[in-house]
Homo-oligomer: A and B are copies of this chain.
Amino acid sequence: MNIKACITVTLKNGVLDPQGQAIRQALNSLDFPGIGSVRQGKVFDITLEDTSEPDAEKLLQDMCEKLLANTVIEDYTVRIIR
């Protein structure tokens, strides 16, 4: 079975996000009102072939730990789509 998954990697709370701050300033200078905070993260859409849902979930967690996220400063969530 082919599995589609979506992995979201975001900075942990408290970790400085200069990219997000730059975006907030840019939005302010475009006159968007009332912007509290902006944090930027990454999203990965991954297709896995010939696997089952529990296997895929384990594999994707493993990918995050080893490559996709820096777990010292980033959190990740894995969501299986189908």
Contacts and interface: CB of A to CB of B under 8 A. Distances in A.
Task: Kindly name the residue among A34, A38, A51, A67 whose own CB sees the greatest number of chain B CB atoms within 10 A.
Answer: A34
A43 B45 contact: no
Q: What is the interface residue range for chain A against chain B?
A: 20 to 34
A38 B45 contact: yes
How many copies of this chain are found per oligomer?
2
B66 A49 contact: no
A67 B29 CA distance: 11
Given A45-B10, A63-B27, A51 B34 contact: yes
B38 A44 contact: yes
| Closest 6 A/B residue pairs (Cβ) | A36-B47, A41-B43, A34-B49, A39-B45, A37-B47, A43-B43
